[in-house]
Amino acid sequence: MNIQKKRNHFPDRKAEDRVKDFQEVGLPIDFELAQKEAGRCLQCKHAPCITGCPVEIKIPEFILEIKNAQIKEAYHIIRKDHFLPSVCGRVCPQEKQCERLCVLAKTGEPVAIGKLEKFVGDEAIQKQYNQSSKIKTIPGKKAAVIGSGPASLACAGELIKNKIAVDVFEALHKIGGVLVYGIPEFRLPKKLIEKEIGVLKQMGVQFFEDSVVGRTIVLEELLSEYQAVFIGVGAGTPLFLNIPGEKLNSVFSANEFLTRINLMNAYAFPEYDTPIPNASDVIVIGGGNTAMDAARNAVRLGAKKVTVAYRRTENELPARKEEYHHAKEEGISFRFLISPLEIKSDESGKAQSVVFQKMELGAPDEKGRRSPIPIQDETELIQADMVIIAIGTQSNPLLPTISPKLKLNSKGYLMVSENLETSIPNVFAGGDIVTGAATVIQALGAGKKAARQILKKLEKE
């Protein structure tokens, strides 16, 4: 069989148009294109792609249904393993997961599994294959879910499907966790999340916004009303560099910068209350998805020059490949092997420039990544009137206020058993608050796994 080595082209909006607004970069995928790409799949018997997916979606099966024009079937195959194909098709780091192990990658390009998943997810939303009616729950069995990111949504969805009433408590005024406050609209349109949350509501899940567990309500109170609790509070507290100048005006954590734009609509100030300063030369420090998101937002806010500074090289860049590619298309400059030493200010107390230490790569660390080492006496000054720090996140130091009885590991993340149960019986946890910063699909997988353990426990009781 003669298989096309290169994947089909899935078009994006032109870079010069998309930098002018916050609308989605990728254009909708039509059926003919999806079917053509599905036709490249070899339907491998041992399907190595499946082992690359954290929730082990039956990839060849759903692709075959696309080939056969049975999109509803394709959707239900994916739904067995997770419920957000339109999200994961857009944001999964496929090149490190399912697509990395596709056999076609050995001789050419892998099947575009993510794009096909996006196509199926979007069709399901548009044609309402994802709809469900109100579920009659079992009396006297109720679970509380803390946080409303992907781990919590997956847990709530699995519980309600199995007739357990669920109440979700979210600290912010919007449901969705990083999917709404972190990942920008141009990568993941908010209406998709709203629609999926709408389905959970239809099924009977109740959402309580502005409810900080540990402040407005504590775990012990929840345990007196609910038979089980799931904690999915994420790890959204930003890390800082601890260098001089970090507290200057117009130095932001990426977390604050993105939240102001995504959640508080700062780009539309003064129509909305939250401002964001105008900047001409922006430096983003970091190399992950958060750094790309911050840099691409800065371009859209009108910055003349945006530079991402990363202390390793392009080869070690942790961001999704597609995000890096899109960022370059949008005119963002990349500077590798430099690490900030100091942020200098102008006379008004605003950032003016950053002094960088030049680096080289040394021996690999415990994860196999080569460590950056300073090159003695080699520094560089780069002008910047805004600096955004995107070097990672950690668990919230307020976590113990949820309950002092929760056991944490040395890094401040929740300790759980193999069944995702915490040190408190009937209290489960999953997602970033257990693993540290990870991915959406890993969080979805953990939420579902925890729900299954909760179901087992509640069945016994």
Chain residues in the site for ligand FAD (CB under 6 A): 91-92, 146-152, 169-172, 177-178, 182-183, 212-214, 232-234, 236, 258, 289-290, 293, 320, 396, 402, 431-433, 437-440, 443
Q: How far is the CB of 196 from ligand FAD (least distance, A)?
A: 14
Tokens of 26: 């990728």
| Among ligand FAD, ligand SF4, none, residue 183 binds (CB under 5-8 Å by kind) | ligand FAD
Q: Please give the Cα distance from 409 to 339 (Å, whole number).
A: 29
Of 19, 38, 59, 164, which lies in the binding site for ligand SF4, with binding defined by CB under 6 A? 59
Site string for ligand SF4, 404-443 (x = CB under 6 A): -------------------------------------x--
Q: How far is the CB of 308 from ligand FAD (least distance, A)?
A: 14
| Among ligand SF4, ligand FAD, none, residue 432 binds (CB under 5-8 Å by kind) | ligand FAD
Beta bridge pairs of residue 379? 357
Contact 428, 230 (CB under 8 A): yes
Q: How far is the CB of 55 from ligand SF4 (least distance, A)?
A: 6
Q: What phi, psi does 45 have (nearest 5°)?
A: -65, -45
Q: How far is the CB of 254 from ligand FAD (least distance, A)?
A: 6
Of 43, 126, 206, 409, which lies in the binding site for ligand SF4, with binding defined by CB under 6 A? 43
| Among ligand FAD, ligand SF4, none, residue 113 binds (CB under 5-8 Å by kind) | ligand SF4
| Residue 42: strand, helix, or coil | coil
Tokens of 278: 């105008």
Q: How far is the CB of 430 from ligand FAD (least distance, A)?
A: 7
Q: Please give the Cα distance from 86 to 114 (Å, whole number).
A: 9
Rounded to 5°, the CA angle 24-25-28 comes to 75
| Residue 260: strand, helix, or coil | helix
User: Closest CB to ligand SF4 among 157 and 245?
Assistant: 157
Rule CB under 6 A: say whether 332 interacts with ligand SF4: no
Q: Please give the Cα distance from 247 to 261 (Å, whole number).
A: 20
Rule CB under 6 A: say whether 44 interacts with ligand SF4: yes
| Among ligand FAD, ligand SF4, none, residue 104 binds (CB under 5-8 Å by kind) | ligand SF4
Contact 239, 396 (CB under 8 A): no
User: Closest CB to ligand SF4 among 110 and 372?
Assistant: 110
Rule CB under 6 A: say whether 41 interacts with ligand SF4: yes
Contact 150, 431 (CB under 8 A): yes
Rounded to 5°, the CA angle 425-136-196 comes to 80
- Nearest C-alpha neighbor of 306 from the set 12, 13, 17, 19: 19
| Among ligand FAD, ligand SF4, none, residue 222 binds (CB under 5-8 Å by kind) | none
Specify the DSSP class assigned to residue 170: -
Site for ligand SF4 in 88-147 (CB under 6 A): 88-89, 92, 94, 97-98, 102-104, 111, 113-114, 117
Q: Please give the Cα distance from 14 to 11 (Å, whole number).
A: 9
- Count, residues in the chain: 461
**Contact partners, residue 150, CB within 8 Å, separation at least 6:** 84, 87, 177, 178, 179, 431, 440, 443, 444, 447
Binding site for ligand SF4 (CB under 6 A): 41-44, 47-49, 53, 57, 59-60, 88-89, 92, 94, 97-98, 102-104, 111, 113-114, 117, 441
